[in-house]
Amino acid sequence: MKRTRVLPIMAAAGLILVFSASAAAPETWIVDILANPARYWNTEVTVVGQVQAVIPNPAGTTRGTYTMLDESCPNPLTIRTNDLPPVSRNFRVRGVLIQDPAQANVPLMKEISRSSPGMTNTTLYLLIAAGAAFLFLLIVFIILLTKPKPRPAAEETIRPAAPVDPSKTTRIAPPPAAPAAAPGGAKTRVFLNLGADIIVEKGPDKGKEFPLHRQVTTIGRPGSRKNEIEINDDTVSKEQASIYYDNAKKEFTIADESATNPTRVDGRAISGPTPLKNGAVIELGRTVLIFKKS
């Protein structure tokens, strides 16, 4: 059942509970009648209590009087009736209060109707209080349910991108790789053609050719440094040597960079920069390179 249907039903139930309880005729306490009988002369009242004694009048008939006690007073109220009730039973009695003809200012009730006691004053008040509490909680519940909730921020609608026609796109060539750093932190320059090559004459990479087109060309086994000339030879260091190009003099030199594997040029171990002439033989471990100018 939806919430909008449940709330009216609960509200109606609470109202019926309160109004039915408040509509019931409340009884009058016997202690009030005995303490101030003049207030109730010729007034219809309702009392609830237990029958204490019955007095037939005339004897042997169901007519006469009986006395009734309630929880408010130890003294009974005398009630005249045409149908005497059984003793020790509880009843709700409705009648008119008059003066007892035999005793002045003593109240006597003329019975109009008698029924089972039903609710006492205490029960009635408790029922009304429960109904009022129920209505209060119901109102709080309705307020909490109907309180507007903060709306979440509207999510941005992401539309799928339109398909791209490959024939109408322009391919952008990737930028050239960053040049290796020259000694001393200077940036290396890249040339289109320097007119020189390194040819692997002997070793695992025999037959490979590496054109020289950088200001600094590094040589070594694959490792942490990205070498322009990679030699797959275990006898070659990862940072074996570097070839430098002097653009002003148009000359190439080579420098050894390995602490364990010496670099040899034309059969001689080198330490500092050594000029490279056309046809120079470079030995790196078991690998032999040829420097060739075109």
In-domain check, residue 223:
yes
In-domain check, residue 121:
no
Percentage of the chain beyond pLDDT 70 is 74
Q: With contact defined as beta carbons under 8 Å apart, do 109 and 86 qualify?
A: no
Containing structural domain, residue 36:
30-115
Single out the residue in 60, 86, 115 at which a domain terminates.
115
In terms of C-beta density within 10 A (0-12 exposed, 13-18 middle, 19 or more buried), how is residue 66 classed?
buried
Q: With contact defined as beta carbons under 8 Å apart, do 165 and 179 qualify?
A: no
In-domain check, residue 163:
no
Single out the residue in 52, 83, 115 at which a domain terminates.
115
Distance CA 260, CA 157 (A): 64
In-domain check, residue 40:
yes
CB atoms within 10 A of CB 207: 8
**pLDDT higher than 70, residue 275:** yes
Query: What is the model's pTM?
Result: 0.38
Q: Can you give the CATH number for the domain in which 209 is found?
A: 2.60.200.20
Which among 67, 40, 36 is positioned nearest to 52, based on CA atoms? 67
Q: With contact defined as beta carbons under 8 Å apart, do 124 and 132 qualify?
A: no
With tokens 């003793």, the residue in question is 87
Q: Can you give the CATH number for the domain in which 60 is found?
A: 2.40.50.140
In-domain check, residue 281:
yes
At 9 the pLDDT is 65
At 61 the pLDDT is 94
Single out the residue in 57, 92, 115 at which a domain terminates.
115
In-domain check, residue 241:
yes
At 178 the pLDDT is 44
**pLDDT higher than 80, residue 271:** yes
Mean pLDDT estimate for the chain: 83
Which among 62, 20, 69 is positioned nearest to 48, based on CA atoms? 69
Q: Which of the residue ranges 8-12, 52-56, 94-98, 177-181 would you say has the lowest mean pLDDT? A: 177-181
User: Which helix (DSSP H) or strand (DSSP E) does residue 21 occupy?
Assistant: helix 3-23
In-domain check, residue 2:
no
Structural domains in the chain (count): 2
pLDDT tens for 131-190 read 888 888 888 888 887 777 666 555 555 566 666 565 655 554 444 444 444 444 445 667
In-domain check, residue 120:
no
